[in-house]
Structure 1
Amino acid sequence: MKYPFIHDNFILENQFSEELYHSYASKMPIIDYHCHLNPKNIAKDTIFNTISDVWISGDHYKWRAMRTLGIDENFITGNASPEEKFRNWAKTVPYTMRNPLYHWTHLELARYFDITELLKESNAQEIYQATTAMVNTPEFSTRNLLRKMNVEVVCTTEDPIDTLEYHQQIAKNSFATKISTSFRPDKAIVISSDTYNEYIDSLSKAAEMTIETYDDLCEALRKRIVYFNENGCKVSDHGLNQISFENYTESDLRTIFSKKRSHQMLSEEEINQFQCGLLIFLAETYHEMGWVQQYHLGALRNNNTRMHTILGPDTGWDSIGDYPQAQKLSQFLNALDTKDKLTKTIIYNLNPADNEVMATMIGNFNDGTIKGKVQFGSGWWFLDQKDGMTKQLNALSNMGLISCFIGMLTDSRSFLSYPRHEYFRRILCNLLGAEIAKGELPNDMEWIGKMVQDICYNNANEYFQF
């Protein structure tokens, strides 16, 4: 009998891989410790009107592929109907072979809708109608979508000025999936931004205090950290090109902030001094709170000025950057460790050329106090695919302890993205199973199976303690 494309042993190439996945990995709950889901949708238990609303809207991965195929923007982010947008996505899908979108698309159709047909233009209307009929029912509400995928924890990402009102609403209602938040204060750090002063004014309102000086800024951010902590936050997150490190004094930081508030130009050195000083203040505060800090490094954002002006950020105009990472990152982590104020830390890189840099960097600051205290984060964004995840797993295995790895996250805005955890788990089990078959690892299923379960769930559960 011929298997459908998505079948029980998809990606699993031998009996060892199959046993590791089916007996050890597949049933483990999901801890999605970094994503961009909208907590309002969870609080309201949103039911989407069409498959396009939940599957295509906001998904810049799909948008980039459609643009590459020459599809007009009206059918991507424009005013075309949901069905027209779906039909154009279906038209694109056969052309995405060897892009992770092809695997993700068919995993999501199979896992959420029990559809194993290959999506293409000729069956677009049929699949649109079938999936929309399901999506537009209570069974496919946002909370039920999370339940369906056995998601135990979701950690969304919020700016310091966020009221967290939707997290508070969720906390008041019984919901088995824990919904937490992470604190992302990048807009307070990137002082070179043209809109920096407007943001500081917004932060003033959120913190209910006037921010006139650098010390005021630190006080306001501390107030917001305390507020987030009181609302269950245990994680911070930063999306930076690279870590800035420049020698500074507190007097320097006060002067630089004052210059910015009075609309004076800053030098490159002053920008780096400020970003370094404020980031160290924040990192020390995270340590005080017992939080985990995350650093997503290496994106080159908003490359297409014309389209960014029309559509705004996060619409598909970003790429991998080739920034130097090692020296400044080492200096930053060392400055915190020297004062014994380095909290649990996860470092993600977007440039695969930096895999070994990150895999060795974490070993410099794993001091024996906490298992896997400093982590090399999973492949994300452009590296969130079979080759990228395999290379990350190999680099970490070769230069660290894969057994201490806290595993996968979605980094997604889509409620249909959770099969990416399955994808990661299949890749992990196939990697280990292949080495068992070659005799490079022992046929010790009990031990290797435990290691798989630790990577899929147990390590993250112990690390974050949500």
Structure 2
Amino acid sequence: MKPFLNEDFLLETETAKSLYHNAAAKMPIIDYHCHLSPELIANDYQFKSITEAWLGGDHYKWRAMRANGIDESYITGDKTDEEKFDKWAQTVPYTMRNPLYHWTHLELQRYFGIADILNKQSATKIYDTASDLLQSRAYSVRNLLRKMNVKVVCTTDDPCDDLHFHQQLSKEGFEIPVLPAFRPDAAMNVDYAVNFNQYVGKLEKSGNVSISNFNDYIAALKSRHDYFDLNGCGVSDHGLEEIYAEDYTHSAIENIFDKIRVGKDISLYENRQFKSAMLVQFAEWDFEKNWVQQYHLGAIRNNNMRLQNILGADVGADSIGDFKQARSLSKFLNTLDERGHLAKTILYNLNPADNELFATMAGNFNDGKTIGKIQYGAAWWFLDQKDGMTKQINDLSNLGLLSRFVGMLTDSRSFLSFPRHEYFRRILCNLFGNEIENGELPNDVEWIQQMVSNICFNNAKEYFNF
């Protein structure tokens, strides 16, 4: 019986072990999509406890604790850090076979050198050890990034953000570039007129402009897109249920904007037209600036209104949706391709039933000029686990070029989540190793080690021009 989480964790063959230890493990990390706080990096923040670093904002853990019958006061409520950690420790044994069990213990080992299993009995010892270490300068957030050999971080930022902390980090010359990513979801969300109009007001303030009509609105957003570009941004991102690709005219969008601004109801079709127009406009700007655009598709968010009314959005009440993706995604990408304005694009899928759909859709729009131009992105959110990663790798292998894949990302709010890259790399090397030893792939060590290194780091470095 192998020890739990030993050096050959997830590596089933000698070839897999060799690939991981000789190629994958030593590669740096490019985290090209995450939700880390640039403010915490700029201030080189020190977490007060392992609870603050681990449970603050981590809706994966919150969902598990609720499922385990833990009262909300120990999750997002007013209990002490030690009390909250104790409840998480009590929950961990019940997460076996959930990726949280692996991630939890990987993070304890990699960051804190703690090999103990977290449970009720070990909670106090682990809490004290980890929290004490977090008080040392070696565990400031910048040093946590250094510890994991991170070379680039791309945060997720609303167009109205002033990017003050990105600017501070750049001015200081922090050796790990912390770059903004343009995330304009709120700028195209007209589901609720009140919220949208509040956003227009926010945009006016951030850009120091007056917005009277749709053309003013587009000009203000273009100015923010330009501003992000001047501040090192080369990536945009959209988190949507689906791509919108309705036909529209400019005058129709102007009229829809005017109706929303005076609080009139718009139809579902008008709603979709407006979102369609905005997506095309953002994509045109991305192409002009040679940015990489990312589309995270398929989540149905904030299902639990009771929790949303109490805690707000993004608190662990989201799930996989069953939206129709193929025709609108095809139409959107084709519209841009026909114009010669299709930027590098990464498509992330949340519904595993659509894996092959996304992998084949990506293959439709490569241009024979840009290597891996349209990417079928890494396993995302609920698929960010051993089975989901394996399926994504296999589907990309079967239907595209795994060798040109830009690899893993954290998509996380936690500074302790970088072992997810290790998790992915071990799974990748295990797949290659098994197939080499089965005779399904040649034992071409030099080439396959290079492929692994490329997928782990080099492809992303070249693709994003970092």
**Residue aligned with 1:70, SS:** coil
CA contact (8 A) 1:62 1:101 kept: yes
Name 1:435's counterpart in structure 2. 435
Residue number in structure 1 paired with 2:200: 200
Mapped to 2, the partners of 1:370 and 1:245 lie a distance apart of 25
Q: State the AA in 2 paired with 1:215.
A: N
Are 1:102 and 2:92 counterparts? no
Equivalent residue runs for 1:202-221 within 5 Å? 202-221=202-221
Return the letter of the residue paired with 1:158. D
After the TM superposition, which parts of structure 1 deviate over 6 Å for at least 4 consecutive aligned residues? none
Structure 2 counterparts to residues 236-315 of structure 1, below 5 A = 236-315=236-315
Deviation per residue, 1:324-351 (Å, 9 max, x gap)? 0010000000000010000000000110
Provide Cα deviations, 1:141-192, integer angstroms capped at 9, x if missing partner: 0000000000000000000000100001100113221110100001011111
Counterpart CA distance in 2 for 1:26 and 1:178 is 22
Q: Cα deviation per residue 1:372-417 (whole Å; 9 max; x = unaligned)?
A: 0000000011000000010001110000000000000000000000
Q: Deviations over 1:49-92 (max 9, x none)?
A: 11101011111100100000001111111000000111110000
Any residues of structure 2 matched to 1:129-168 within 5 Å, and which?
Answer: 129-168=128-167
What is the letter of the counterpart of residue 311 of structure 1?
A: L
2:372 corresponds to which letter in structure 1? G
Q: In structure 1, what residue type is equivalent to 2:115?
A: T
Is 2:46 the partner of 1:27? no
SS at match of 2:178: strand
Residue 181 of structure 2 aligns with an amino acid whose one-letter code is S
For residue 392 of structure 1, what is the amino acid of its counterpart? Answer: Q
For 1:197, give the aligned amino acid. Answer: N
Aligned to 1:117: 116
Give the count of matched residue pairs.
465
CA contact (8 A) 1:6 1:110 kept: no
Deviations 1:355-388 (A, max 9, x none): 0000000111001110000000000110000000
Q: Partners of 2:42 and 2:390 in 1: how far apart?
A: 36
Matching residue of 1:407: 407
SS in 2 for 1:369: coil
Partner of 2:62: 63
State the alpha-carbon separation in 2 of the partners of residues 156 and 228 from structure 1.
12
| Alignment correspondent of 1:375 | 375
Q: 1:86 matched to which residue of 2?
A: 85
CA contact (8 A) 1:243 1:325 kept: yes
Unmatched 5+ stretches in structure 2 = none
Aligned to 1:364: 364
CA contact (8 A) 1:4 1:116 kept: no
* Preserved CA contact (<8 Å) 1:5 1:116: no
- Give structure 1 stretches of 5+ with no counterpart: none
Structure 1 match to 2:329: 329
Q: Could you tell me which amino acid in structure 2 is paired with residue 308 of structure 1?
A: Q
Whether contact under 8 Å (1:235, 1:294) holds in the other structure is yes
Q: Structure 1 CA distance, aligned partners of 2:29 and 2:392? A: 20
Q: CA contact under 8 A between 1:350 and 1:381: conserved in structure 2? A: yes
> Structure 1: how far apart are the matches of 2:293 and 2:450?
27
SS at match of 2:30: strand
**Aligned-pair CA distance for 1:3:** 5.6
Q: Which residue of 1 aligns with 2:424?
A: 424
Write the distance in 2 (CA, Å) between the matches of 1:73 and 1:192: 29
Match of 2:233 in 1: 233
> What CA deviation, in whole Å up to 9, does each residue of 1:216-264 have, x standing for no partner?
1110110000000000000000000001111111111101101110111
| In 1: Cα distance, 2:216 partner to 2:15 partner | 58
What displacement does 1:15 show? Answer: 0.5
Compute the displacement of 1:139 (Å). 0.7
SS of the equivalent of 1:152 reads: strand
* 1:102-139 CA-partner distances (Å, limit 9, x unpaired): 00000000000011111000010011001100011111
In structure 2, C-alpha distance between the alignment counterparts of 1:67 and 1:450, rounded to whole Å: 43
CA distance in 1, matches of 2:207, 2:333: 28
Q: Post-superposition shift, 1:437?
A: 1.1
Q: How many Å apart are 1:94 and its aligned residue?
A: 0.6
How far did residue 4 of structure 1 move?
4.1
Contact 1:302–1:318 (Cα < 8 Å) also in 2: yes
Distance 1:137 1:56 in 2: 20
Letter in 2 for 1:33: Y
Q: Is the aligned partner of 1:178 residue 2:194?
A: no
Deviations 1:415-444 (A, max 9, x none): 000000000000000011111111111111
How far apart in 2 are the matches of 1:279 and 1:174?
A: 34
1:395 and 2:389 are equivalent in the alignment = no
Matches of 1:175 and 1:228 in 2, distance apart? Answer: 19
Pairing 1:456–2:461 present: no
CA distance in 2 between counterparts of 1:96 and 1:410 reads 20
Name the residue aligned to 2:7: 8
- How far apart, in 1, do the equivalents of 2:430 and 2:140 lie? 33
SS of 2:414's equivalent? coil
8 Å CA contact 1:348–1:376 kept in 2: the answer is: yes
Q: Give me the whole-angstrom Cα distance separating, in 2, the residues matched to 1:365 and 1:420.
A: 30
Deviations 1:184-217 (A, max 9, x none): 0010111113411101110111121111211111
